[in-house]
Chain A
Amino acid sequence: MLSSIRASTTAEARRPSRSRWRLIWNQFRRSRAGLVGLSILLVFLLAGVLAPILAPYDPYEIDLEASLRGPGGGHWLGRDELGRDLLSRIIYGARLSLVIGVIAVAIGAAFGVPVGALSGYLGGRVDLFTQRAIDVMLAFPGILLAIVLVAILGVGLVQVMVAVGIVSIPVYARLVRGQVLSLREQEFVDAARALGATDTRIIWRHVLPNTVAVIIVQSTLQVASAILSAAALGFLGLGAQPPAAEWGSMLSNARQYIRLAPHSVTFPGLAIMLTVLGFNLVGDAVRDALDPRMRL
């Protein structure tokens, strides 16, 4: 008797089954824009992972003789102000962006998910306090909170990952809290409680697994926004410092040569734009696949 109840409580979990994932993929596959976005992201991912193999030159090798030279002569995208190969630097930049995005999102999720889960599950004063704290964090528009954190932590690549990670904590906390609030009222949670499960076990085994799908979808979008924020900080001179091959800081250095070497401001920005476009296209297609009625 007991074991059959236990079996049914886990079966009640609303985790999307394998066939549901296939359904979503079948919907997604129909969107040409989504597939284009996915290909862009695959190129970005490959460039990041295989940077040392794909890059034709050493991204840090200086050749002052060839400074700011335009595309040509084996250097497809030209050279930067120190004569470094721009294509190689952009490829290594993909690697750096990937690392920044993934680490920042990991930090955000590692803190935001438990905060949101506890806040939603326990309610009461814990919830009130965390919600006000989140209100304060969200009162700093866009990149401003990251700027404040960089002002505290100092300028640099590691600091940027931490800052951008902290900025995404409220996003996860709000998202998970909302999910937990509705899951908390489900019958399978009552059943688990009736069986004597502790709060920790209920949150960990019954509630959180049901939020995984939403967290994954959100994380994809969050990686894009982390990359963009890190690039913006790099551009302001508050992020990665020279000689790092980071897209934002590359733009920041190249902007003073905009008249002499337009290619050096065009290509790093194009790389950022294509990456973000890829994420946006995939994001739109996933949303349509999850809910065809939402299609724009």
Chain B
Amino acid sequence: MWAYVAKRLLLAVPVIFGVAFVVFAMVRVVPGDPAQIIAGETATREFVEAIRKDLGLDRPILQQFASFLAGAARGDFGRSIRSRAPVSEELAARIPNTVQLTIAGLLVAVAVGVSAGVISAVRPYSWLDASVMFVALVGLSMPVFWSGLMLILIFAVRLSWLPAVGTGTLAHLILPAITLGGATAAIIARMTRSSMLEVLRSDYIRTARAKGAPERTVVNRHALRNALIPVITVVGLQMGTLLSGAVLTESVFAWPGIGRLMVEGILTRDYPVVQAAVLLVALAFVFVNLLVDLLYALVDPRIHYG
């Protein structure tokens, strides 16, 4: 077990370096003179040179990478080219919003997904099952940015029940969380259903029923617990969808998070901000994956790792 943990941690190291290198290289491989592109075509010579010096583009490439890594390790990504504020400050102000949104989305996805999957599996091939699975398939096919707009249209514009954009209260979080969690809920529902159906056919479920356990106990205690193991894997795999979905959801709801900062950064060619945001999201993804793998080893004692 510990050997597996060590091996898994070690494997993450080259990935982290690779990700850092891609993010570092991002600015340098831009076709043309990066300093000129960042400054814009109408910028003065002095401004272009200032940016060149700011980003250290006049130094040898390896030295640049070393100081990039050293800076990143300290959380220092330089200053934003547009606002002149330290990138770390802009990032720090946005991180809680993205974390909040992602966790809320995850909660919606798991709560809705697992219950829908169980409802479907308990009455397989009924009209209820068919309609739940149809809704799941439609949910799976809706692009995040459009389902967000449709929710705004229905609940903010038409019914005026919830605010369309902004942050602050729980009411502001509801639509973005449903938008973000929706597609993942659909995937979890499909997975829970097929996993439940398989478990419900097994011998120990027949045994549980034969000894007279009430159906509710059979479903919740015997079946669901075992059926959830593959579901946990799916949730882990879906973390990438959630993180990238957050970028789109933030854009729809004007949610002041990392994703929106990143997109605005690209549109204004504010590369230090883009680099920091991309690195942060990618590293978060690497760590979440690591965590899921390790949790998985803990949760399922039947799996042995060499």
Residue A22 is within 8 A (CB to CB) of chain B in the complex: no
Q: List 15 A-B contacts (CB under 8 A).
A: A139-B282, A140-B281, A141-B239, A141-B240, A142-B244, A144-B243, A144-B285, A147-B263, A150-B266, A151-B266, A152-B26, A152-B29, A228-B143, A237-B263, A273-B143
Interface residues of B (CB under 8 A from A): 14-15, 18-19, 21-23, 26, 29-31, 133, 137-138, 140-146, 149-150, 152-153, 157, 190, 193-194, 197, 239-241, 243-245, 247-248, 251-252, 262-263, 266-267, 271, 274, 278, 281-282, 285-286
Contacts of A274 in B (CB 8 A): 141
Other A-B contacts than A232-B248, A259-B157, A265-B149, 15 sampled, CB-CB below 8 A, are A132-B15, A132-B18, A133-B18, A141-B240, A141-B285, A148-B278, A153-B31, A255-B149, A262-B157, A266-B150, A269-B143, A269-B146, A274-B141, A276-B143, A277-B137
Q: Which of A126-182 contact B (CB under 8 A)?
A: 132-133, 135-136, 139-144, 147-148, 150-155
Measured between alpha carbons, how far is A248 from B252 in the docked complex, in Å? 12
Flag if B278 contacts A280 (CB, 8 Å).
no
Contacts of A142 in B (CB 8 A): 240-241, 243-245
Flag if B137 contacts A280 (CB, 8 Å).
yes
Query: Nearest Cβ in chain B — how far from A31, in angstroms?
Result: 13
Determine which of B141, B145, B149 lies in contact with A276 in the assembled complex, contact meaning CB atoms within 8 Å. B141
Q: Is the interface of A mostly helix, strand, loop or mixed?
A: helix
From B120, which residue of chain A is reached at the shortest CB distance? A296
From B28, which residue of chain A is reached at the shortest CB distance? A152
Flag if A140 contacts B149 (CB, 8 Å).
no
Flag if B266 contacts A141 (CB, 8 Å).
no
Determine which of A135, A143, A155, A266 lies in contact with B244 in the assembled complex, contact meaning CB atoms within 8 Å. A143
Contacts of B22 in A (CB 8 A): 136, 140, 148
Measured between alpha carbons, how far is A259 from B18 in the docked complex, in Å? 45
From B281, which residue of chain A is reached at the shortest CB distance? A144
Measured between alpha carbons, how far is A132 from B282 in the docked complex, in Å? 15
Flag if A231 contacts B143 (CB, 8 Å).
yes
Per CB-CB distance, the 6 closest pairs between chain A and chain B, nearest first, are A142-B244, A269-B146, A136-B18, A141-B240, A277-B141, A276-B141
Flag if A258 contacts B263 (CB, 8 Å).
no
- Count of chain A residues with a beta carbon within 8 Å of a chain B beta carbon: 43
Residue A96 is within 8 A (CB to CB) of chain B in the complex: no
Query: Nearest Cβ in chain B — how far from A27, in angstroms?
Result: 18
Residue A251 is within 8 A (CB to CB) of chain B in the complex: yes
Contacts of B145 in A (CB 8 A): 231-232, 235, 248, 251, 269
Contacts of A139 in B (CB 8 A): 15, 18-19, 282, 285-286
**Provided the pairs A232-B248, A251-B149 are in contact, do residues A135 and B18 lie with their beta carbons within 8 angstroms?**
yes
Determine which of B133, B197, B251, B282 lies in contact with A236 in the assembled complex, contact meaning CB atoms within 8 Å. B251
Flag if A238 contacts B266 (CB, 8 Å).
yes
Measured between alpha carbons, how far is A154 from B271 in the docked complex, in Å? 12
Measured between alpha carbons, how far is A277 from B183 in the docked complex, in Å? 12
Contacts of B247 in A (CB 8 A): 143-144, 147, 236
Contacts of B262 in A (CB 8 A): 147
Contacts of B274 in A (CB 8 A): 151
Measured between alpha carbons, how far is A141 from B241 in the docked complex, in Å? 7
Determine which of B138, B141, B248 lies in contact with A235 in the assembled complex, contact meaning CB atoms within 8 Å. B248
Query: Nearest Cβ in chain A — how far from B294, in angstroms?
Result: 17
Flag if B194 contacts A296 (CB, 8 Å).
yes
Residue A289 is within 8 A (CB to CB) of chain B in the complex: no
Flag if B153 contacts A266 (CB, 8 Å).
yes
Contacts of B144 in A (CB 8 A): 232
Flag if A272 contacts B146 (CB, 8 Å).
yes
From A270, which residue of chain B is reached at the shortest CB distance? B146
Measured between alpha carbons, how far is A132 from B14 in the docked complex, in Å? 7
Measured between alpha carbons, how far is A144 from B286 in the docked complex, in Å? 13
